[in-house]
Amino acid sequence: MDSMDTTSTAQIVSSITKAIVEHRLNPGAKLAEQKLADHFGVSRTLVRQALFQLSQHGLIKLEPARGAFVASPSVEEAQQVFEVRRMLECEMTRAFVRQVTPAKIKALNAHVAEERKAVNDGDVPGRTELLGDFHVRLAELMGNHVLAELLRELISRCALITMMYQTASAAEDSNDEHAAIVKALAAKDEATAVRLMDEHLQHVVASLTFTRKVPTNDIALALT
């Protein structure tokens, strides 16, 4: 694949992801290869590559003989994804305390401030991305790129789940909880930091409104 093809694939991935994040393309929407190829002015091969990448991120589901659809995470899947995150992130928090520095705390506080602005501005895609990235940022600041990548993939799936089911007030609570976690990390209070992280992830799951009805939009309208 040459650089132009790589760029085209990345643009398709970015555009579809953005449409999902901004609620213009909702869970269950069919992603027809030919429609996408016509819309982006590329071959179906490039569209297929982009759809495969999105499926790897858990954002779409590829079904044999039926095609690609925006993923519709079940209640059970949502709970399982967050359970895996609790296992990983409680230990990550424990390890972070042991290598905390003023510079790392400064970086986290700056991130939490960005979250707060997005929440206050009513920026749904911005707050969704920033609230998820907080957890990836912890791994990055530890220098653990494998963990950061693993969390990034899990959080991509969580982003779709939270966009489907999370309320604005719950997003504000998440920001407050991130601030409290950073405060405990700064104090090198391992027990409190781990407890707050565990409670935070449990609160996110508890705040999801799984009975919410989510409409399906047409791909042509969603990407305009």
In a domain, 224, yes or no: no
Same domain, yes or no: 92 and 188: yes
CA 190 to chain centre: 26
In a domain, 212, yes or no: no
Say if residue 164's pLDDT is above 80: no
In a domain, 86, yes or no: yes
Same domain, yes or no: 54 and 99: no
Question: Which residues contact residue 171 at a Cβ distance below 8 angstroms, ignoring those fewer than 6 apart?
Answer: 119, 127, 128, 131, 162
Of residues 179 and 152, which shows the higher confidence score? 179
Same domain, yes or no: 96 and 29: no
Say what the pLDDT of residue 216 is.
47
3-class SS string, the chain: CCHHHHHHHHHHHHHHHHHHHCCCCCCCCEECHHHHHHHHCCCHHHHHHHHHHHHHCCCEEEECCCEEEECCCCHHHHHHHHHHHHHHHHHHHHHHHCCCCHHHHHHHHHHHHHHHHHHHCCCHHHHHHHHHHHHHHHHHHHCCHHHHHHHHHHHHHHHHHHHHHCCHHHHHHHHHHHHHHHHHHHCCCHHHHHHHHHHHHHHHHHHCCCCCCCCCCCHHHHCC
In a domain, 220, yes or no: no
Helix crossing, 75-97 with 168-186: angle to 10°? 20
The percentage of the chain sitting over the pLDDT mark of 90, rounded to a whole number, equals: 54
Of residues 6 and 58, which shows the higher confidence score? 58
The Cα–Cα gap between 154 and 215 comes to 24
Mean of pLDDT values over 207-212: 66
Domain that holds residue 42: 3-72
Say if residue 174's pLDDT is above 60: yes
Same domain, yes or no: 201 and 161: yes
Say what the pLDDT of residue 218 is.
54
Same domain, yes or no: 172 and 97: yes
Looking at 54, 72, 90, which one is the last position of a domain?
72
Mean of pLDDT values over 19-48: 88
pTM of the model: 0.71
Domain count, the chain: 2
Specify the CATH number for the domain of residue 56. Answer: 1.10.10.10
Per-residue pLDDT band for 31 (boundaries 50, 70, 90) equals very high
Same domain, yes or no: 11 and 97: no
The percentage of the chain sitting over the pLDDT mark of 70, rounded to a whole number, equals: 86
Same domain, yes or no: 140 and 122: yes
Same domain, yes or no: 45 and 18: yes
Average pLDDT, the chain: 86
Say what the pLDDT of residue 97 is.
97
Say what the pLDDT of residue 36 is.
95
Q: What is the pLDDT of residues 82-132, one digit of tens each?
A: 899 999 999 999 999 999 999 999 999 999 999 999 999 988 767 878 898
Same domain, yes or no: 51 and 92: no
The Cα–Cα gap between 67 and 61 comes to 8
Same domain, yes or no: 82 and 186: yes
Same domain, yes or no: 57 and 93: no
Say if residue 192's pLDDT is above 90: yes
Specify the CATH number for the domain of residue 197. Answer: 1.20.120.530
